[in-house]
Chain A
Amino acid sequence: AQTVTQSQPEMSVQEAETVTLSCTYDTSESDYYLFWYKQPPSRQMILVIRQEAYKQQNATENRFSVNFQKAAKSFSLKISDSQLGDAAMYFCASYQGGSEKLVFGKGMKLTVNP
Chain B
Amino acid sequence: DAGVTQSPTHLIKTRGQHVTLRCSPISGHKSVSWYQQVLGQGPQFIFQYYEKEERGRGNFPDRFSARQFPNYSSELNVNALLLGDSALYLCASRSRLISGNTIYFGEGSWLTVV
A interface residues, Cβ below 8 angstroms from B: 33, 35, 37, 42-47, 50, 52, 91, 93, 95, 97, 99-107
Contacts and interface: CB of A to CB of B under 8 A. Distances in A.
A96 B68 CA distance: 22
Interface residues of B, number: 27
Contact of A104 (B31, B42, B50, B101): B42
A36 B65 CA distance: 28
B101 A45 contact: no
Contacts of B95: none
6 contacts: A45-B105, A45-B108, A100-B55, A100-B56, A103-B45, A106-B41
B111 interface: no
A99 B45 CA distance: 11
A5 B18 CA distance: 34
A45 B43 contact: yes
Contacts of A97: 101
Interface string B76-106: 0000000000001010100000001111111
A45 B90 contact: yes
Contact of B33 (A33, A50, A100): A100
A47 B42 contact: no
Nearest to B110: A43
A107 B42 contact: yes
A43 B43 CA distance: 11
